[in-house]
Amino acid sequence: MMKRIVLFGGGLHVGYCIDIILQEGKFEIVGIIDSIGEIGSSLYGFEIIGRQDDLIPLISDKNIEAGVITIGDNYSRKQVFDDIMRQVPDFEFVNAIHPSVIVGSGVEIGIGVVVMAGCIINPYSKVSNFCFLATGAQVEHDCLIKDFASLSAGCVLGGKVTIGPYSALTLGVIVMDRLSIGENTVVGSGSLVTKNLPDNVLAYGNPAKIIRERGLGEKFLKSN
Protein backbone atom coordinates (compact mmCIF):
# COMPACT_ATOMS: atom_id res chain seq x y z
CA MET A 1 0.00 0.00 0.00
CA MET A 2 1.16 3.54 -0.75
CA LYS A 3 1.97 5.87 2.12
CA ARG A 4 -0.81 8.40 2.76
CA ILE A 5 0.49 11.96 2.63
CA VAL A 6 -0.86 15.48 3.08
CA LEU A 7 0.29 18.61 1.23
CA PHE A 8 0.89 21.80 3.23
CA GLY A 9 0.03 24.90 1.19
CA GLY A 10 -2.57 25.55 -1.49
CA GLY A 11 -0.78 28.24 -3.52
CA LEU A 12 0.60 28.13 -7.04
CA HIS A 13 3.33 25.62 -6.21
CA VAL A 14 0.99 22.87 -5.07
CA GLY A 15 -0.11 22.13 -8.66
CA TYR A 16 3.28 21.04 -9.90
CA CYS A 17 3.95 19.16 -6.64
CA ILE A 18 0.75 17.18 -7.20
CA ASP A 19 1.85 16.42 -10.76
CA ILE A 20 5.22 15.14 -9.53
CA ILE A 21 3.66 12.96 -6.84
CA LEU A 22 1.13 11.45 -9.24
CA GLN A 23 3.83 10.69 -11.80
CA GLU A 24 6.06 9.12 -9.15
CA GLY A 25 3.24 6.83 -8.05
CA LYS A 26 4.80 6.31 -4.61
CA PHE A 27 2.29 8.11 -2.37
CA GLU A 28 -1.46 8.55 -1.94
CA ILE A 29 -2.48 12.20 -1.52
CA VAL A 30 -5.04 12.46 1.30
CA GLY A 31 -5.66 16.18 0.75
CA ILE A 32 -4.32 19.70 1.17
CA ILE A 33 -3.92 21.73 4.36
CA ASP A 34 -4.23 25.43 3.57
CA SER A 35 -4.66 28.66 5.54
CA ILE A 36 -6.94 30.44 3.04
CA GLY A 37 -8.87 28.06 0.79
CA GLU A 38 -12.38 27.00 1.74
CA ILE A 39 -12.36 23.73 3.65
CA GLY A 40 -14.09 21.06 1.63
CA SER A 41 -13.38 22.77 -1.70
CA SER A 42 -11.30 21.13 -4.41
CA LEU A 43 -7.88 22.27 -5.61
CA TYR A 44 -6.27 20.53 -8.59
CA GLY A 45 -8.59 17.61 -7.95
CA PHE A 46 -7.83 17.25 -4.23
CA GLU A 47 -9.81 18.41 -1.21
CA ILE A 48 -8.71 21.13 1.19
CA ILE A 49 -9.16 19.13 4.39
CA GLY A 50 -8.35 21.72 7.06
CA ARG A 51 -6.01 24.24 8.63
CA GLN A 52 -2.52 23.70 9.95
CA ASP A 53 -3.69 24.21 13.54
CA ASP A 54 -5.92 21.16 13.04
CA LEU A 55 -2.99 18.89 12.17
CA ILE A 56 -3.18 16.56 15.17
CA PRO A 57 -6.88 15.60 14.75
CA LEU A 58 -6.46 15.48 10.96
CA ILE A 59 -3.64 12.94 11.29
CA SER A 60 -5.97 10.69 13.26
CA ASP A 61 -9.13 11.29 11.21
CA LYS A 62 -7.46 10.94 7.79
CA ASN A 63 -4.82 8.36 8.71
CA ILE A 64 -2.04 10.71 7.53
CA GLU A 65 1.41 9.12 7.57
CA ALA A 66 3.65 11.86 6.13
CA GLY A 67 3.63 15.09 4.16
CA VAL A 68 5.25 17.57 1.77
CA ILE A 69 5.42 21.35 2.23
CA THR A 70 4.26 22.73 -1.12
CA ILE A 71 5.15 26.40 -0.61
CA GLY A 72 7.51 28.24 -2.96
CA ASP A 73 8.77 30.96 -0.63
CA ASN A 74 11.80 29.66 1.25
CA TYR A 75 11.29 31.33 4.61
CA SER A 76 7.55 30.64 4.62
CA ARG A 77 8.40 26.98 4.08
CA LYS A 78 10.61 27.13 7.18
CA GLN A 79 7.85 28.77 9.24
CA VAL A 80 5.40 26.03 8.28
CA PHE A 81 7.98 23.38 9.13
CA ASP A 82 8.55 24.95 12.56
CA ASP A 83 4.82 24.99 13.27
CA ILE A 84 4.44 21.35 12.26
CA MET A 85 7.35 20.38 14.51
CA ARG A 86 5.78 22.28 17.39
CA GLN A 87 2.61 20.22 17.07
CA VAL A 88 4.02 16.85 15.97
CA PRO A 89 7.80 16.62 16.61
CA ASP A 90 8.10 13.23 14.93
CA PHE A 91 6.09 14.11 11.80
CA GLU A 92 7.59 12.48 8.70
CA PHE A 93 8.37 14.42 5.51
CA VAL A 94 8.87 12.81 2.12
CA ASN A 95 10.42 14.02 -1.12
CA ALA A 96 8.66 14.74 -4.41
CA ILE A 97 11.13 14.04 -7.22
CA HIS A 98 9.94 13.90 -10.83
CA PRO A 99 10.75 10.59 -12.58
CA SER A 100 12.70 12.44 -15.29
CA VAL A 101 15.26 13.84 -12.82
CA ILE A 102 18.83 12.60 -13.36
CA VAL A 103 20.73 11.92 -10.13
CA GLY A 104 24.45 11.17 -10.28
CA SER A 105 26.60 8.88 -8.17
CA GLY A 106 27.17 9.88 -4.58
CA VAL A 107 24.43 12.53 -4.55
CA GLU A 108 22.82 13.22 -1.16
CA ILE A 109 19.22 14.45 -1.00
CA GLY A 110 17.65 15.48 2.29
CA ILE A 111 14.01 15.36 3.39
CA GLY A 112 11.07 17.44 2.19
CA VAL A 113 12.80 18.15 -1.12
CA VAL A 114 10.86 18.96 -4.31
CA VAL A 115 12.61 18.49 -7.67
CA MET A 116 10.73 19.26 -10.89
CA ALA A 117 10.98 17.71 -14.35
CA GLY A 118 14.26 17.74 -16.25
CA CYS A 119 16.60 18.61 -13.39
CA ILE A 120 20.12 17.19 -13.30
CA ILE A 121 22.00 16.70 -10.04
CA ASN A 122 25.53 15.65 -10.85
CA PRO A 123 27.86 13.39 -8.82
CA TYR A 124 28.72 14.08 -5.20
CA SER A 125 26.46 17.09 -4.83
CA LYS A 126 24.20 17.55 -1.82
CA VAL A 127 20.67 18.97 -1.84
CA SER A 128 19.78 19.61 1.78
CA ASN A 129 16.41 19.55 3.54
CA PHE A 130 13.32 21.33 2.19
CA CYS A 131 14.95 22.66 -0.97
CA PHE A 132 13.05 23.34 -4.23
CA LEU A 133 14.61 22.76 -7.65
CA ALA A 134 12.40 23.95 -10.51
CA THR A 135 12.18 22.75 -14.10
CA GLY A 136 15.49 22.00 -15.78
CA ALA A 137 17.78 23.26 -13.03
CA GLN A 138 21.29 21.87 -13.43
CA VAL A 139 23.56 21.23 -10.46
CA GLU A 140 27.10 20.32 -11.41
CA HIS A 141 29.45 18.07 -9.41
CA ASP A 142 30.29 18.61 -5.73
CA CYS A 143 27.79 21.41 -5.13
CA LEU A 144 26.13 22.07 -1.78
CA ILE A 145 22.62 23.52 -1.59
CA LYS A 146 21.75 24.23 2.02
CA ASP A 147 18.39 23.92 3.83
CA PHE A 148 15.34 25.78 2.50
CA ALA A 149 17.15 27.15 -0.57
CA SER A 150 15.68 27.14 -4.07
CA LEU A 151 16.70 27.15 -7.74
CA SER A 152 14.16 28.41 -10.27
CA ALA A 153 13.70 27.01 -13.77
CA GLY A 154 16.78 26.90 -15.94
CA CYS A 155 19.37 27.73 -13.28
CA VAL A 156 22.87 26.32 -13.75
CA LEU A 157 25.44 25.84 -11.00
CA GLY A 158 29.06 25.21 -11.95
CA GLY A 159 31.08 22.65 -10.01
CA LYS A 160 31.71 23.08 -6.27
CA VAL A 161 29.17 25.89 -5.80
CA THR A 162 27.61 26.50 -2.36
CA ILE A 163 24.13 28.02 -1.97
CA GLY A 164 23.31 29.23 1.54
CA PRO A 165 20.13 28.51 3.51
CA TYR A 166 16.96 30.41 2.46
CA SER A 167 18.70 31.75 -0.65
CA ALA A 168 16.99 31.77 -4.03
CA LEU A 169 18.27 31.82 -7.58
CA THR A 170 15.45 33.00 -9.84
CA LEU A 171 14.85 32.17 -13.51
CA GLY A 172 17.87 31.29 -15.61
CA VAL A 173 20.63 32.30 -13.19
CA ILE A 174 24.11 30.95 -13.93
CA VAL A 175 26.69 30.64 -11.13
CA MET A 176 30.30 30.09 -12.15
CA ASP A 177 32.20 27.22 -10.54
CA ARG A 178 33.69 27.27 -7.03
CA LEU A 179 31.62 30.23 -5.85
CA SER A 180 29.57 30.73 -2.70
CA ILE A 181 26.24 32.50 -2.26
CA GLY A 182 25.44 33.41 1.33
CA GLU A 183 22.34 32.95 3.47
CA ASN A 184 19.01 34.58 2.54
CA THR A 185 20.40 36.05 -0.69
CA VAL A 186 18.32 36.38 -3.87
CA VAL A 187 19.79 36.55 -7.37
CA GLY A 188 17.57 38.14 -10.04
CA SER A 189 16.48 36.42 -13.25
CA GLY A 190 19.00 35.96 -16.04
CA SER A 191 22.01 36.96 -13.93
CA LEU A 192 25.55 35.66 -14.28
CA VAL A 193 27.29 35.27 -10.92
CA THR A 194 31.07 35.60 -11.27
CA LYS A 195 32.01 36.42 -7.66
CA ASN A 196 30.99 35.25 -4.19
CA LEU A 197 27.89 36.93 -2.77
CA PRO A 198 27.42 37.59 0.98
CA ASP A 199 24.42 36.96 3.22
CA ASN A 200 21.18 38.96 3.04
CA VAL A 201 21.49 40.77 -0.30
CA LEU A 202 19.62 41.13 -3.58
CA ALA A 203 21.92 40.92 -6.60
CA TYR A 204 21.37 40.84 -10.34
CA GLY A 205 22.95 41.64 -13.69
CA ASN A 206 25.65 40.34 -16.00
CA PRO A 207 27.87 40.16 -14.07
CA ALA A 208 25.66 40.13 -10.96
CA LYS A 209 26.11 43.12 -8.64
CA ILE A 210 24.72 43.72 -5.16
CA ILE A 211 21.71 46.06 -5.40
CA ARG A 212 20.63 46.28 -1.78
CA GLU A 213 20.34 44.41 1.50
CA ARG A 214 17.31 42.26 2.26
CA GLY A 215 15.74 41.15 5.53
CA LEU A 216 15.18 37.60 6.69
CA GLY A 217 11.72 36.57 5.58
CA GLU A 218 11.41 39.22 2.87
CA LYS A 219 9.30 37.82 0.02
CA PHE A 220 10.73 37.36 -3.46
CA LEU A 221 8.03 35.53 -5.46
CA LYS A 222 5.40 37.49 -7.42
CA SER A 223 2.70 35.17 -6.07
CA ASN A 224 3.42 36.49 -2.58
Burial of 22 (0-12, 13-18, 19+ CB in 10 A): middle
Burial of 223 (0-12, 13-18, 19+ CB in 10 A): exposed
- List the catalytic residue out of 65, 141, 147, 169: 141
Write the CB contacts of 29 (distance below 8 Å, at least 6 apart in sequence). Answer: 5, 6, 7, 18, 21, 22, 46
3-state secondary structure of 89: coil
Distance CA 170, CA 189 (A): 5
In the annotation, is 98 catalytic?
no
Active site residues: 141
